[in-house]
Amino acid sequence: MKVFGFDPSKSSGWAFWNTERDHSSIACGVLEMPKGADHYYTGDQIGLKVTALIRQHGKPDFAVLEEQSLAKIGNTSADAMIYPWLATAAIVSTLANFGIPYGTIPAVSWRVSFFGKGFKPPLDNKGKKDWKSAAVAECERMGIVLPPQKAISHNAAEACALAVCWRHSKLHARRYEPAFMQLLQQRNTRAGGDLFGGAAA
């Protein structure tokens, strides 16, 4: 099974994983935008770049995105709210045009699945929970090669985490339910076979 993970933002992280292979095989990167790109051009480029990824890696069986919040948090700027939604819309519309089933997972949910319940991330220099560096550290522990630029590597790391946690996705279009349920069944069948056959999960 092939899965795409996306962490939507102005510099959206992406990850591609063939679930029959080890986590260290996950390919990932960031959809970088030219300096000065406005909202329209950003949406334009994200759609084109996602199309290029699909053509490069092949049509996946499923795609998962981080679910966006509808609530404004603290002193969040307009751009900080607009770009993730804009990127989400551009990615989803591209996936739909290719007929690729997709779903979303809220950050609070994939973090529990990816890090484990009770995990406490390190604190940044402002005393806030640094989930970004935690994602980078965990991906590096798993042997995943992230982009070298530290300023954007966390976007790719979170996309990898989403791809790994794809089975916890929430669907938004009912037409994808049969395909999603079949993928879950295939995964459970394979996991059961690995368990009773003594193979690694």
The pLDDT tens digits for 36-95 are 899 999 999 999 999 999 999 999 999 999 999 876 656 666 777 899 999 999 999 999
User: Residue 7: which CATH number?
Assistant: 3.30.420.10
Confidence (pTM) = 0.91
**Domain annotation covers residue 50:** yes
Residue segments in the chain with a per-residue pLDDT below the cut of 70: 71-77, 192-201
**Domain annotation covers residue 182:** no
Supply the pLDDT for residue 200: 41
Nearest to 91 by CA among 33, 50, 53, 132: 50
Give how many domains the chain has, as a whole number: 1
**Domain annotation covers residue 201:** no
State CA 5 to chain mean position distance.
3
**Domain annotation covers residue 140:** yes
DSSP class of residue 129 equals B
Q: What range does the domain containing 77 cover?
A: 2-173
Supply the pLDDT for residue 72: 61
**Contact of 154 with 139, CB cutoff 8 Å:** no
Supply the pLDDT for residue 73: 58
